Structure 1
């Protein structure tokens, strides 16, 4: 196992570390600790997770050497506001990856100009919880909530980074830090990520800084003003990805000018998004 560590700044801010040589799920461990009274802030980490958890109950597998990290915190806010911590974590994660491999944060050239003529960086954020590198997933985030003894809410922010390899047979493009020349370890990624989190959490500021978080997220958003298909519990929402609202819900504008606000779902771009199927607005209006 890599020697995981937190920086002096993270330690001074009260963050602690529980590192595992091998574990089924860092999120499951953090939730277990919360149920037993642990309030954090605590990072639970490993570079060998064999039964990881993904969104909507999916399993998440990764080869040894990738980073699985779960941050247990107890924000002094309601769970609705706490759910927006995922967007702060996305900013921290993209900041960390850009610091580790600066070439990943470089702007694309003329071929990467968007409809407004502005360049895009290679690192982009895909709503609600993925980090993409040139369109391929390199990292993801999963938020889960728990209650401490006495009923106080706790949040676990699970973060997975493809450090040495991308998972195979996942049905979407994926890449890794090693594939773009990064020779460091999962421990190196955590050290930078933990510091980037301090900055993002400071901006979020109990939810008061959410407008700034939203603005920074939109500056890195993948697929803005492009065709999108969002698979929700109620069907498929198709249209153009317009923005995220003040509550960080996805705003999809349809051809008839109406909009749908999506609070949860799986986002698809490209050919899947442009297939037209009648009556598939769905979602939350």
Structure 2
């Protein structure tokens, strides 16, 4: 089966560039923008050899996994454009719900519990969890094109057939979860779900609706968390994400702390100490 766009996506002007193997889908997307591409371009592959995660971490995508990047060219403020990561997380979770058979969610030592009935939960700021383990990651990268426009590459990597074992957190794949789903089927659903959620986002004007939907899927909400921020660890209870999608904690002193960037740990790991 070849990669294809959902009919809704194609009808709204999204386009597709598919590869058998790439270095980095994000790098290709940003290069296309510098070459004059107007955006709404999906770059996809089942193998990625030099992808990146947050904070420069490597993110390899072996054969059969999904590496997808959506290039958006926008004139909105980059602070608003950064919230497209939350649109991506919602879209991927919606797509997974559509293509993966139902199953039991269990509590994991460093992940969500599925207590609100979600099989796939969203871990702030950019992970999708299944059974408390990391199933997918999202990375946004941007480049200024001129005084009015910027390119935003929204990278989405999903463990379809394999997951990394040499990582300091639980990870999983759709194959391990017993899902009979390939990368092409998942991408078809993802392109459809993105079209729905980007309409809701509406250039940032609908961010409140995105935030509400995201919180309905939030991993660890109301539980004990530890967040590593610039070498320090902030501990407390995960209260919400605010109107700017910052992570909001009530710390051990009862104070509200808003965090724009950091690594989040839940449950037993939070209690033992985020390393």
1:227 and 2:224 correspond: yes
Residue aligning to 1:68: 67
1:209 and 2:191 correspond: no
C-alpha displacement of 1:107: 7.4
- Return closer, same or farther for 1:272/1:16 CA change in 2, 3 Å cut-off: same
Q: Cα RMSD (Å) of the superposition? A: 2.1
For the Cα contact (< 8 Å) 1:37–1:149, is it kept in 2?
no
Distance, in Å, in 1 between the alignment partners of 2:157 and 2:196 is 19
Q: Secondary structure at the match of 2:184?
A: helix
**In structure 1, which of residues 244, 251, 255 is the aligned counterpart of residue 252 of structure 2?**
255
Distance, in Å, in 2 between the alignment partners of 1:135 and 1:78 is 34
Residue aligning to 2:28: 29
For the Cα contact (< 8 Å) 2:65–2:183, is it kept in 1?
yes
Equivalenced residues, count: 269
- Return closer, same or farther for 1:171/1:108 CA change in 2, 3 Å cut-off: closer
C-alpha displacement of 1:148: 2.3
Residue aligning to 2:13: 14
Distance, in Å, in 1 between the alignment partners of 2:52 and 2:38 is 21
Q: Secondary structure at the match of 2:129?
A: strand
Instruction: Spell out the pairing of 1:57-96 with structure 2 (5 A cutoff).
Output: 57-96=56-95
Gaps of 5+ in 2: none
C-alpha displacement of 1:74: 1.6
1:200 and 2:197 correspond: yes
The TM-score with structure 1 as length reference comes to 0.89
- Return closer, same or farther for 1:30/1:83 CA change in 2, 3 Å cut-off: same
Residue aligning to 1:54: 53
Residue aligning to 1:123: 120
C-alpha displacement of 1:78: 0.6
Residue aligning to 2:177: 180
Stretches (4+) displaced over 6 A? 106-109
Distance, in Å, in 1 between the alignment partners of 2:223 and 2:139 is 25
For the Cα contact (< 8 Å) 2:140–2:154, is it kept in 1?
yes
For the Cα contact (< 8 Å) 1:243–1:251, is it kept in 2?
yes
Q: Secondary structure at the match of 1:5?
A: coil
Distance, in Å, in 2 between the alignment partners of 1:234 and 1:34 is 35
Residue aligning to 1:270: 267
Distance, in Å, in 2 between the alignment partners of 1:149 and 1:250 is 31
Residue aligning to 2:4: 5
Residue aligning to 1:140: 137
Gaps of 5+ in 1: 278-285
